[in-house]
Amino acid sequence: MKKRFAITAGVILALVMITGVIWAQKNSGNEDNAQNEMNSLPENITMPVNTAESGNTVDASAIKVDINGEPVSFTDIQPYIDGSAVMLPVNVIARALGANVSGDGVNTDMTLLRGNNVYLLKEGSSTVYVNGEVCELSAAAAEKNGSVYVPADFVRDVFGMQTFYDNETSKLSIKMETLPVYFAGGFQIKYLDNGCKLVTDGENFRLLLAPQGKTAPEGYLADKKISIPLKNVVACSATYVGELAELNLLDSLRGVTASEQYWYIPEVKNAMNCGTIKYLGGDKMEAPDYELIKALNPDMVFAYTGAYGQQYIMRKLDEIGVHYAINNEYMEPDFLGRMEWIKFTAAFYNKELEAEKMFNDAVKRINDVTAKVAGLEKPEVAWGLSWGGKVYVENPDSYVGKWITMCGGDYVFKNMGKGYDTQVSMEDFYADAKNADVLIFSSTTNYMRNPSIEEIIQENPLFANIKAVQNGNVWAYAPDWWQVAHAPIFS
């Protein structure tokens, strides 16, 4: 039973990461509570294929494919012509479009995943089931030289993107009108001509992004015009820096609002020590040094709004003529929506399809992990932070309540009202949490004077009577929780 609860706690803590590409755990001395098994399990999106090669095939190694003008690399696995159909290797084209792919489709079924979309192609059949709906392709999936191929209309009819084939140039063009957004509700990315994009940020500002040296199309209303890719940025939240790190874009970071002692990304600490990343102020929530920001002359400042937002920073940036974009990932009520904002950041660097792939890989890992606890007895899970005689919890419709429920926990505050943070008395907290099997203390350990169960009890003696506390099954966030998508992530 203890192992089962430890696994569930590990699952719960893992799912809240911003990008969630790889998860591992760090324990704080209690080895019994440090069991977190996250091995892969098969997903239920399968693509059996016709392994008999079609007749009348024509090799066409010169066939080129691009996505919104950017070429797709096929290496030694090339498209070919079969009658009137352009046949594409599923493995290559699906990954290029950001899908998660597993299985080779020859010896095992091929599995595809795109957000909350599922696809099923029957062996030897041109019928594709898209989220349960029937879609007919022009040809069945086929195997050629060890790879699985589908006709180009698979991209159009299954992935919902336009395709154009030019016989004279032997080029297939795939046009994405918008970047898929499955769970987030705070941003949009629309593709325009000439490699440009119209990005709507967390405050509904319309940002027209144009590649350097190219002219943005006329006729689009925009609040700001930005040259991309960005080369010089300021991040007003640690979570944005975590996104840049995952996308391998830290070389563009020039300023942050947390001093060196609060960073757990080695590249950031080293760059601050060398002076290539500047601390702008903000450790105590004070205003940053605007003169220093102006001196850095950033292409973009990433900030956030909301009830406790940085509107005061936005007003000052307007005064000094510095561009900003609003990343409100923290306001998403779904943990998958929070993760999905990595696509927003990536769009400013022309790496959003790479971010799409990262995101779908993370969703696949989440599905695998949650499958491990499906059907098990549900441990009761309490989540809260004690401060100044009050306890702060999350309502069941928040991202916390959702990921506890999704990964097999029974959230003890599931009957509380809707909204964001919920403040309750210690007595009310205890009434619901006293029989909890797992307690997640919502603080990173670096903000605790003495990260221990003893400190939690000292803050509020009633905690001592909670079942999870008595059994030592208490968890807190590791210091790098909001920055790092890889291990270690919790204590």
Domain boundaries, the chain: 2-38+363-477, 46-175, 188-362
Query: If one looks up domain 188-362 in CATH, what number appears?
Result: 3.40.50.1980
- Cβ neighbours of 458 (radius 10 Å): 13
End-to-end CA distance of the chain: 20
Matching fold, domains 2-38+363-477 and 188-362 = yes
Q: Say if CB 165 and CB 152 are below 8 A apart.
A: yes
pLDDT attached to residue 61: 58
Query: Under 8 Å CB-to-CB from 128, ≥6 apart: which residues?
Result: 119, 120, 121, 134, 135, 136, 137, 154, 157, 158
Per-residue pLDDT reduced to its tens digit, 47-58: 333 333 444 555
What is the DSSP-derived secondary structure letter of residue 411?
E
Nearest to 6 by CA among 379, 297, 417: 379
Residues of the chain with pLDDT under 50: 1-55, 487-491
User: How far is CA 155 from its chain centroid?
Assistant: 23
Alpha-carbon gap, residue 399 to 335, rounded angstroms:
5
Query: Under 8 Å CB-to-CB from 286, ≥6 apart: which residues?
Result: none
Residue with tokens 């299985």: 103
- Cβ neighbours of 219 (radius 10 Å): 6
Can you give the C-alpha Rg of the chain in angstroms? Answer: 25
CATH topology of domain 2-38+363-477: Rossmann fold (3.40.50)
DSSP string, 33-96: G----------S-EE--B-SPPSSEEE-TT-EEEETTEEPP-TT---EEETTEEEEEHHHHHHH
Residues constituting the chain: 491
pLDDT attached to residue 121: 64
Query: Under 8 Å CB-to-CB from 6, ≥6 apart: which residues?
Result: 32, 33, 34, 35, 36, 473
- Cβ neighbours of 467 (radius 10 Å): 16
Alpha-carbon gap, residue 166 to 168, rounded angstroms:
6
DSSP β-bridge partners for residue 326: 303
CATH topology of domain 46-175: Copper Amine Oxidase; Chain A, domain 1 (3.30.457)
pLDDT attached to residue 29: 35
What is the DSSP-derived secondary structure letter of residue 489?
-
pLDDT attached to residue 129: 74
Alpha-carbon gap, residue 308 to 216, rounded angstroms:
35
Alpha-carbon gap, residue 8 to 375, rounded angstroms:
12
